Structure 1
Amino acid sequence: MSPIALADIVKAYDVRGLVPEQLDARVATALGSAFAQVVVIPEGEDGVVIGHDMRDSSPELARSFAAGVAAHGVDITMIGLCSTDILYYASGVEQRAGAMFTASHNPAGYNGIKLCRRGARPVGQDSGLTEIRDLAQWLLDRGSMHDLPTSERTGSVAETDMLAGYAAYLHSLVRLDDIRPLRVVVDAGNGMAGLTVPVVLGMDGLPITVEPLYFELDGTFPHHEANPLEPENLRDLQAAVREHGADLGLAFDGDADRCFVVDERGEPVSPSAVTALVAAREITRAVQAGADPSDVAVVHNTICSRAVPETIQEHGARAVRSRVGHSFVKAQMAEHEAVFGGEHSAHYYFKDFWFADTGMLAAMHLLAALGEQDDPLSQLVAAYDRYVASGELNSRVPDVAAATERVREWAAAQGASDERLDGLSMVHEDPYWSFSLRPSNTEPLLRLNVEAQDRAVMEQVRDSVLTLVRQER
């Protein structure tokens, strides 16, 4: 039996690996045992909820993980097929730790695990995942999963369905029954939105007509990868929006925790614009409930457009910057009791959803905002789409530190200020431009995002930085 190196698949926030080469039933059992010993038992968690996506390998991996947890006397609730935000909902309402088996937007050959404590609190490399990895590795190195440390009692295993409760809970947060009629094209990418959208947006009495694309649950992704961040994966949605004369289009990733948007013309809507729009709604909602605007916080990551903090401040609330990544955003939200948080990658976090991310709730806010007035989506979001962005540009470099320093020196010579929080962030005020240059956690890559007041300035800064990044020395 070939040795398994968990360091190759246990990432900063979750587990991702090829099946069965890196992730199989034996590995899942070891990770379940380690999760029980590192998180569940020491923290007095009242059982574990486990869900999975539509990949062929997911049910077996989920059962094997459950066996590893139950061996320690921990009770299990299996919630079956679900989106990742349903798993977070289950963790929140049941107040149990959770495990979701999914590789999100990764290709068909992959699978993975997202872990959380009760109340959907994250488990990442700085909050237990490293310890889980090391203990699971020790168990695997012993050579037998039949010799796990166990308790006198094996945990019980129950099955339940959380979909209806999840849908009802979302509708308690955002009302869609009194908006104008809307036609929406939804591309589920053969992922879990094919399960959730018909229930959440197809409820009787809603003035919403859903035109479905690729709702069949199929972990081989026969039409395109379930990764809407890549422009080619939006093309079918864009064409369908134009064909149906729809008011907007929504695209979900494989586990349906992220939601991307195109307007009535089929043009992509920036996740920063969605973040700003939803932030404005959540601030208004908090103020209407009696909060002083200055006590209301919204979190955004360092790559979000400047339009996001501007919008937050225009509504009298506090904008809190965060490093990229859900564990950082969730930590900042908890610290500041933020009502909402958004990332450039279309992850949207809500205080009323246990500070966890849910693309569906963000989509419902967008539908409500659109349906409460008569303008098309392109006009509605124009107020939040104030600057020109490059999108993320990746460069493979031999010396990340040297390339970063070349760029820092150039930007400083232009009069830009250094706002180091997550990699290198530089801001120039007149004319306005800014960029984020971040190293990848797993590869010798630098990730560049540039924003500016107009396209000419953006392209000039983009090209200057890329030249320095890719310069061989």
Structure 2
Amino acid sequence: MINKQVLRKLKKDYFEYILSWVDRKKLLKSKAKFTVSWDADGDRVFFKDEKNKKVPAYFITALLAEIIQQKYPKAKIAHDSRLVWAIRETVKRTCICKAGWSNFLNFIRKNRILFGGETSGHYYFASSASKLVLNDGLIPVLLIAEKIAKTGKSLAELIRPYQAQYFISPEINFKEKIDLKKLEKNYLGAKISHLDGLSIEYPDYRFNLRPSQTENLWRLNIEARDKNLLQAKKLELLKIL
């Protein structure tokens, strides 16, 4: 996927892109375009921009989806139902998959998906010639570094169009069990999905509430077209829940 000439340039000029988490002073002094951090087994990766600000995995997935479809226009893209607009409205041929590592691996193999991303920081890459699917934390770094090398833009500049259109809240967790059927009755007329918990969608905002697969928690994600609307809907949901 990586052009050889670009890769040589990355090795020569952009090695400092691929750094572990650093403090703000060290980052600014290094002039790195972004920094990355992996989880313990390296299958999840998290990004910060050149100003040491965290970049949501949601926007990284949208950016990677755009990069992949520029390389492979017919590629199908998979994403989870927690946050969707930035991906669905940026690229074509998108599919929604229930969150979770095993769900994504099976879904990608079954539906011939080339790339998949989750808001948890998992990214999946499939071979078009076989059923091999990699849940890999290094390929996203190389693809984004290549994009920066080609465009001359920083990570913050690449992400800015998404941040200007899609406003999201940090994931909110609840310990109490939630009655999804009762909650659903508050949103008559909405577009509703039960693929993964409950997704409620209106033209100007949407949310997903789902039980965690790893902890005894319920996880809420909200996105809106407007920052003020996001805050209003967040407060509304917190009162209901």
Q: Are 2:136 and 1:308 aligned? A: no
Q: For 1:191-213, what per-residue CA distance to the aligned partner results, in whole angstroms no more than 9, with x for missing partners?
A: xxxxxxxxxxxxxx532233786
Q: Is the 8 A contact 2:83 2:221 kept in 1?
A: no
Query: For 1:209, which of 8, 12, 15 is the aligned residue?
Result: 15
The answer for the alignment partner of 2:121 in structure 1 is: 346
Stretches of structure 1 that go unaligned for 5 or more consecutive residues are 1-172, 183-204, 215-233, 288-292
* Percent of aligned positions that are identical: 26
Q: Are 2:192 and 1:418 aligned? A: yes
Structure 1 pair 346–263 and aligned structure 2 pair: CA distance change class (3 A): same
Q: Is the 8 A contact 1:433 1:458 kept in 2?
A: yes
Counterpart code for 1:468 = I
Q: For 1:296-347, what per-residue CA distance to the aligned partner results, in whole angstroms no more than 9, with x for missing partners?
A: 311111113311011122xxxx111000001111222112211101111111
Q: Is the 8 A contact 1:283 1:339 kept in 2?
A: no
Q: Is the 8 A contact 1:303 1:449 kept in 2?
A: yes
TM-score, scaled relative to structure 2: 0.88
The answer for the alignment partner of 1:281 in structure 2 is: 67
RCO higher in structure (CA 8 A, sep ≥6) = 2
The answer for the alignment partner of 1:57 in structure 2 is: none
Q: CA deviation at 1:237?
A: 4.6
Larger radius of gyration: 1
Query: What SS does the corresponding residue of 1:466 show, helix, strand or coil?
Result: helix
Structure 1 pair 394–239 and aligned structure 2 pair: CA distance change class (3 A): farther
Q: CA deviation at 1:238?
A: 4.5
Matches of 2:185 and 2:24 in 1, distance apart? 41
Matches of 2:117 and 2:18 in 1, distance apart? 26
Q: For 1:377-396, what per-residue CA distance to the aligned partner results, in whole angstroms no more than 9, with x for missing partners?
A: 21122233331111211011
Q: Are 2:112 and 1:337 aligned? A: yes
Query: What SS does the corresponding residue of 1:344 show, helix, strand or coil?
Result: coil
Q: CA deviation at 1:176?
A: 6.1
Matches of 1:237 and 1:440 in 2, distance apart? 31
Query: What SS does the corresponding residue of 2:232 show, helix, strand or coil?
Result: helix
Q: Is the 8 A contact 1:425 1:435 kept in 2?
A: yes
Q: How does 1:35-434 map to 2 (within 5 A)?
A: 173-175=1-3, 177-178=5-6, 205-210=11-16, 236-287=22-73, 293=74, 296-313=75-92, 318-352=93-127, 354-385=132-163, 386-397=165-176, 399-401=177-179, 404-412=180-188, 415-429=189-203, 432-434=204-206
Q: Is the 8 A contact 2:198 2:208 kept in 1?
A: yes
Q: Is the 8 A contact 1:322 1:328 kept in 2?
A: yes
TM-score, scaled relative to structure 1: 0.47
Q: Is the 8 A contact 2:83 2:222 kept in 1?
A: no
Structure 1 pair 299–442 and aligned structure 2 pair: CA distance change class (3 A): closer
Counterpart code for 1:284 = Q
Structure 1 pair 211–279 and aligned structure 2 pair: CA distance change class (3 A): closer
Stretches of structure 2 that go unaligned for 5 or more consecutive residues are none
May I ask how many residue pairs the two structures share in their alignment? Answer: 237
RMSD: 2.4
The answer for the alignment partner of 1:219 in structure 2 is: none
Structure 1 pair 258–240 and aligned structure 2 pair: CA distance change class (3 A): farther
Structure 1 pair 442–340 and aligned structure 2 pair: CA distance change class (3 A): closer
